[in-house]
Structure formats: structure tokens, C-alpha cells
Amino acid sequence: MTLRIGNFSGFYGDRSDALREMLTGGEVDVLTGDYLAELTMLILGRDRLKDPGAGYARTFLRQLEECLALVHDKRVKIVTNAGGLNPAGLAARVRELSERLGVPLRVAHVEGDDLTAAHPGSLAAHAYLGGFGIAACLRAGADVVVTGRVTDAALVTGPAAAHFGWPADAYDQLAGAVVAGHVLECGTQATGGNYAFFTEGPGDVGRPGFPLAELHEDGSAVITKHPGTGGFVDVGTVTAQLLYETAGARYAGPDVTARLDTVRLRQDGPDRVRIEGVRGEAPPPTLKVGRNRLGGFRNEVVFVLTGLDVEAKAALVRRQLAPALGKVADVRWELVRTDRPDAATEETASALLRLVVRDADQQAVGRALSGAAVELALASYPGFHVLAPPGKGAPYGVFEDAHVPQDAVEHVAVLPDGRRVPVAPAPGSAVPEDVPEPPLPGPPPDGPTRRAPLGLVAGARSGDKGGHANVGVWARTDAAWSWLAHTLTADRFRALLPETAPLPVTRHVLPRLRALNFVVEGILGEGVAAQARFDPQAKALGEWLRSRHLDIPEALL
């Protein structure tokens, strides 16, 4: 008995026609839409400030309107966290849509995640719920289930638990569904999107198809995609997504703690990767709570420094603006040396000097900075110009996480007939002991080496979790894994990425995936919404690492 679960959205803004593509491209039982990220919750919180009836992903309604008859005719269940901060409001809009179009659908929603009232000063504070509220809605006959802030994997564990009748302590099966859900949650990142070896894949990644998982009752799964769609699914694309925004051996959630060090992957045919062997443990006794608050106001200006004396030009601008910036709480200068000597174009002869200011007072980062920067137009370095004039200062957000006891959250499934059913917290919970680091593989091959980019022998994918970043690095052969595991230590990682040198870096070893996962604490400051860094979500941190040169055994090259 197989349950086919597909994905049609990996973020708020994903391809609008993906729902229709997944409904028409092949057989599927459940389609999941993931719209929520830390930044999205802030965006929806600001929407709700303007309109108390807002707070959900409006794009989902447009997608559903175009496909409502197809959903009904094909008897496909839709499960989505597009409800955001207002799942009841979105569920009501879906019912209105169903009535207006004359397409009968039973709609349910899940609530209880909103803890904003208990966190004064927060724009939005939401607990990450598990999948058993979704399961209750589906068991009651719902065709569409709308949630707020659940874990991304809960969109898969819920339908799987409902379909297979798993109890809440079926930890191995639930862990398998969590792993499958984590692979699906970011859409086309599992089918060749954002993939380190995109130039080598068997499929065209110009328009990757969305992924789906064939789940089995024992928790094993096959990751695949509809026939004829773009991109490709192989062990590498699945490994990359498994490492995305994770850390060590334990991947903890509200339903189960999945042991990533037990995951086994194997190619099961073209565009088919089998996931098996996943073990699960009791979840932790607490739920994560994501809190978003307004941190103040932010402004930015980028000065273009062309030709000679770049350092002196940068020093002059900094000295000239110092009086205007004296009372600003947070001032950050960054000189990016994109210039080349004897350049053939003006752009490649230019460096960029980036100024970012933040303060609780909008005037401090707005009018004062704008005036001071513009006044330099005829009174600063030769060739003075900026990429864009500074604005009046925009609000920025701060993400923080906290934890509350599982039983402190009133997880409720609101069924299609309006009945409100409480969802019990996980029956067991545990604060696990540390997982000992597994033994490393045998020593790397002997022989001559050559200075070359790490990316010739290793893939990487990186992402953000609040103010931290993770960089997952994996090898494609046993020989490359042996070299990687012995070579890329936390100290070597810091040396290759000097920006991380003063920060805590933890290395996790995952031999079954031939992978290392590095967690870099604090590199993103107060999170993506604060935009404290050039790449505020650390999306390209892994590609920077792959571009760095090491002495690599020629046998691997």
C-alpha cells in the first residue's frame, strides 16, 4: 500500500502553475504546499498589522481557484501551511471559493500555534506543531487542510499517519516520513534546483519538475517526480536536500526525532532514489517557538570606487560621513574588491563600498544619512557615484527562537463539520544523550596532489536557521569521502572561510551520507530579516567553500 505525496510549493513565491502541473502530470494522492519561512512569518505579521483579516499566503488562493475542479475530480487531498498567522481565515476563504465555483470540498484547519499574546513585543510568535492535527482532519474526511506554523515535515507526517494508521509512538515510521518530508519541503531543490553539480545531471535543470515521495507503511520511501518533467532525481540531489538546514545526527521535531545518521540512500532507477533504514526516537519535551519582532530601521547605500586609490577613496568617504553617523546605533562598512587592474570595462575596474546603518530612530538612518551621502556628490573622491540613492529607512525584523513545554500548547484540529478536536502532545518525550561521533573512514589515498577547488570532488548546500548557518558538504565516492572526512576539519573550514574564523563552528559527521555538516553560530546576526550580511540567508556559503583551493589527491581529480 503506497501513498504518493507530492509538493507544489517550496516557499511563498514559488512557481504559480506548479499545482496544476502536479495534478495533471501523473498519479498523486496528496499534494503539499509549504509557504512558511522565518522571513515569511514576519511579512505576514506586517500584513496583519494593516489588515487583521490578512496574515495568510494569498497566492495559494489564486493557485487553488485555477485548479479547484481538478482537485475534486482527481480526489487529491491538499495540505498546506499557507494559513500562516491566520489558518481559520484562509480556511474560510477556501470554503467561499468552493461555494462560488460550485465545487464541493470539505475544508478543515489546524490551530493552536499562535503564542503571540504570551510573548509581549513580538509581531508574531508561533510554536512549530507536528502532523497529528493534520491527520485528525484527514481522518474526518477533509479534502483541504490548512495549517499555520507546523514543521515543514509535518505536511507529510500528517497524511502518512492518517493513511497508514500509525500511532503517535511509531517512531521509526514517523522518522521515515520526516526524512521524506524534509526532502520534499523545498520543492525543486530535490530535483536539480540549486544543485552543486547541476552541469553534470542527466536532466535539464532549466525548469525542474516538483518532487513526490512514494511512502510505504514501514516508513521507507522513494523520491521521484512526474514523467517528462525537467530536472533529475539522484542520490546527490536527495543528499543535498537532506543536509539543508539540518545539523547533526538528530533531527528533532514535535512528532519524533529522526536519526539522520541511520538514513540509507540508493538509486532505484532513473529519477528514483530509495530512502530506507531511518530510525526514530521520542521527540524532545519542548516545542520550538519562532518569534519575530521589529528591530528598528535600516538604510543602505553602496558607493562605487573606480580605478586607482580604492583604499584611499574608501577612507575619504568614511571620514566625510563620520559626523552624520556619530549617533547611529549600528554602522557597518564593507569594502568589496570586485575591481581588477588594467580592466577592460569600467564595471570590472570598480570596487563597491557598502554602508549599512541600523537604529531604533527612523530619522537617524533616513534623512540624516540621505542628506549627508547626497551632499558628497561633488565633494568627495574622483568618479563619485552610488548604485542607488539611500531611502528614508525601512523597518527590519529580528528572529529569535524559544522553547515551551509540549503540553503548554493547545493543538486543535478544526474538522470540516466545525468540531474542535484537541490533539494530544507526543506520548513520550526525551532529552537525549549526545550521539558519539562515528569512526572516520580509512585514511585518504596516497600519491601526488594538485591545488584545485574543493568543489571538484565535493558538493555543498547551505542555509539559515535564525542567526546561524549550516553548510552540508558531501562526497560522491568512497575515496573522496575518505579524503574529505580527514581533511575538512572545523579548523580547516574556518581557514577556508575567514569570515567564520572568530565564530563557533561545529562539525557533524554523517558517514552513511558520506557527508559533513558544519554549523556556524552567529554568522547571520539577528536573522535574515535583519539583513546584517551580504548573503543574509547563507544560501551561497557552501558555493564559496567549494570555490576555495586545497591540495587534493590527483587520483580524485
One domain, residues 407 and 535: no
One domain, residues 513 and 416: no
- Positive or negative, the Cα torsion across 272, 233, 239, 132? negative
Instruction: Tell me which residue has cell 501513498.
Output: 3
pLDDT greater than 80 at residue 530: no
pLDDT greater than 90 at residue 531: no
- What pLDDT, on a 0 to 100 scale, did the predictor assign at position 378? 96
* Residue 138 DSSP symbol: H
pLDDT greater than 80 at residue 431: no
Quote the percentage of the chain above a pLDDT of 90: 88
Phi first, then psi, for residue 77 (nearest 5°) are: -85, 140
Helix (H) or strand (E) holding 153: none
pLDDT greater than 90 at residue 134: yes
Which three cell numbers mark 85?
Answer: 498567522
- What pLDDT, on a 0 to 100 scale, did the predictor assign at position 390? 86
Sorting pLDDT into bands at 50, 70 and 90, what band is 32? Answer: very high
Cα separation of 259 and 436, whole Å? 13
Cα separation of 522 and 467, whole Å? 5
- What pLDDT, on a 0 to 100 scale, did the predictor assign at position 350? 98
Burial class (CB in 10 A: 0-12, 13-18, 19+), 506: middle
pLDDT greater than 90 at residue 437: no
- What pLDDT, on a 0 to 100 scale, did the predictor assign at position 367? 78
- What pLDDT, on a 0 to 100 scale, did the predictor assign at position 557? 93
Sorting pLDDT into bands at 50, 70 and 90, what band is 429? Answer: confident
* Residue 271 DSSP symbol: T
- What pLDDT, on a 0 to 100 scale, did the predictor assign at position 370? 85
Which three cell numbers mark 368?
Answer: 540624516
Helix (H) or strand (E) holding 111: strand 107-111
The three-class DSSP label of residue 176 is: helix
- What pLDDT, on a 0 to 100 scale, did the predictor assign at position 535? 87
Written as one string, the DSSP assignment of 414-440 is: E-TTS-EEE-PPPS----PPPPPPPPP
Cα separation of 56 and 481, whole Å? 44
Quote the percentage of the chain above a pLDDT of 70: 99
Sorting pLDDT into bands at 50, 70 and 90, what band is 371? Answer: confident
One domain, residues 417 and 501: no
One domain, residues 62 and 157: yes
- What pLDDT, on a 0 to 100 scale, did the predictor assign at position 193? 98
CB 93 within 8 A of CB 129: no
Which three cell numbers mark 438?
Answer: 562515528
Residue 374, domain member (yes or no)? no
For residue 167, the tally of other CB atoms under 10 A from its CB is 11
CA 276, chain centre distance (Å)? 24
- What pLDDT, on a 0 to 100 scale, did the predictor assign at position 525? 85
Sorting pLDDT into bands at 50, 70 and 90, what band is 466? Answer: confident
pLDDT greater than 90 at residue 391: no
pLDDT greater than 80 at residue 527: no
Residue 24, domain member (yes or no)? yes
- What pLDDT, on a 0 to 100 scale, did the predictor assign at position 430? 72
> What average pLDDT does the chain have?
95
CB 191 within 8 A of CB 233: yes
Cα separation of 1 and 232, whole Å? 25
Which range is least confidently modeled, 191-205, 284-298, 499-513, 528-542?
528-542
Over residues 394-417, mean pLDDT: 94
Q: Return the HEC string of 251-281.
A: EECCCCEEEHHHCEEEECCCCCEEEECCEEE
Q: Return the HEC string of 276-333.
A: ECCEEECCCCEEEEEEEEEEEEEEEEEEEEECCCHHHHHHHHHHHHHHHHCCCCEEEE
pLDDT, tens only, 68-99: 999 999 999 999 999 999 999 999 999 999 99
One domain, residues 405 and 541: no
Written as one string, the DSSP assignment of 345-357 is: STGGGEEEEEEEE
pLDDT greater than 80 at residue 465: yes
Sorting pLDDT into bands at 50, 70 and 90, what band is 377? Answer: very high
One domain, residues 414 and 481: no
Which three cell numbers mark 53?
Answer: 483579516
pLDDT, tens only, 222-274: 999 999 999 999 999 999 999 999 999 999 999 999 999 999 999 999 999 99
Residue 341, domain member (yes or no)? no
Residue 352, domain member (yes or no)? no
Instruction: Tell me which residue has cell 562539525.
Output: 507
Q: Which residues constitute the domain of residue 273?
A: 3-290+401-422
Over residues 362-373, mean pLDDT: 86
pLDDT greater than 80 at residue 52: yes
* Residue 522 DSSP symbol: T
One domain, residues 413 and 513: no
Sorting pLDDT into bands at 50, 70 and 90, what band is 276? Answer: very high
One domain, residues 410 and 476: no
Residue 204, domain member (yes or no)? yes
Q: How many domains does the chain have?
A: 2
One domain, residues 408 and 466: no
One domain, residues 233 and 115: yes
One domain, residues 405 and 503: no
Residue 315, domain member (yes or no)? no
Which range is least confidently modeled, 239-243, 296-300, 533-537?
533-537
Residue 301, domain member (yes or no)? no
Cα separation of 341 and 37, whole Å? 42
Residue 94, domain member (yes or no)? yes
One domain, residues 527 and 407: no
Over residues 277-290, mean pLDDT: 96
Which three cell numbers mark 117?
Answer: 499574546
